[in-house]
Structure 1
Amino acid sequence: MDSPVPPRPTEPRPRRRDRHGRGMRGPVAPPQVPLSVSRAESFRDLVQDSVERLERRWPQLAEVDFLVLDVPESPGESVPLGSSVPAERGKPARIVVYRRPVEIRTKNRDERALLVHEVVVEQVADLLGLSPESVDPRYGQD
């Protein structure tokens, strides 16, 4: 005779202990800290920090679009770290920083932050027709 099979619970029971019997672990990081930030997000933050530093001195940069792309579309003999495109009819000026070439040339976050700032300053200077030293007096001193 077949005995009736009890129905399976529709929801899994909450686990009180892990497989080693130690109990559930606490949070890895405080709730206000993101658990993981991708390299691309971290790089965008570096560019944003650099732009904010320059906007205090050059308020007209609020009209410029700052973009981060992984690599240049068609590099020539040398791979650029950034590029600038002047404003056209109906399109704002753009400054692009290329993430992968900058990352390859740096060893750690501090070096990366310095190089990102130099690239942004150089591109802003090119766009405004000024020297990099006049855009940021600390250019090249770090």
Structure 2
Amino acid sequence: MAFDQLVLETYAPLHNAYFDQLSGVDLAVDTIPRMRLRADMSVLPDEIVADGPVPLGRVLQAGVDCYGNPTRARFVVFRRPVEQRSRTPEERSELLTWILTALVANYLNLDPRDVDPDFPW
């Protein structure tokens, strides 16, 4: 629960800064990545934020589910990979800021440095 709260707190300034553009986007936390990636992929799709081959977050675009119902766009943060890459709460917060900034930038088709001038490449 503390992780989910940290994700919400980290996302809030981004959501507020781009309120109109992000008003139709949901935010979710999943324990682990649940996606089919080919084992031979050396570069992941742009909508996936990763540490090497390990996805840390993903943008799911709005679409239609298997029942024909419309779905909203969603940012998904993967808890376990993030926790494994951060030893302290400060590191976790910094990593989440990086992930969420990259997800927002991808969704808005912006350079992450346009969203956060201090974005580390």
- TM-score normalised by the chain length of structure 1: 0.65
Which one has a larger percent strand, Structure 1 or Structure 2? 2
Range with bigger deviation, 48-57 or 113-122: 48-57
Out of 110, 130, 134, the residue aligned to residue 114 of structure 2 is 134
CA contact (8 A) 1:102 1:115 kept: yes
Unaligned runs of 5+ in 2: 40-52, 65-69
Matched, 1:83 2:63: no
- Across the aligned residues of Structure 1 and Structure 2, the Cα RMSD in angstroms comes to 1.7
Matches within 5 A, 1:27-46: 41-46=1-6
Question: Where does residue 94 of structure 2 map in the other structure?
Answer: 114
Match of 2:27 among 49, 57, 66: 66
RCO greater where, 1 or 2, for CA within 8 Å and sep 6 or more?
Answer: 2
Ranges of 4+ aligned residues in structure 1 off by more than 3 Å:
74-77
Shift in Å, 1:75: 6.2
Cα distance between partner residues in 2 of 1:84 and 1:74: 12
**Paired amino acid for 2:61:** P
* Structure 2 equivalent of residue 11 of structure 1: none
Percent pairwise identity: 36
- AA at the equivalent of 1:73: R
Count of aligned pairs between the two proteins = 101
Show structure 1 runs of 5+ residues with no match. 1-40
Counterpart Cα distance in 2 of 1:112 and 1:75: 26
Secondary structure of the residue aligned to 1:80 is strand
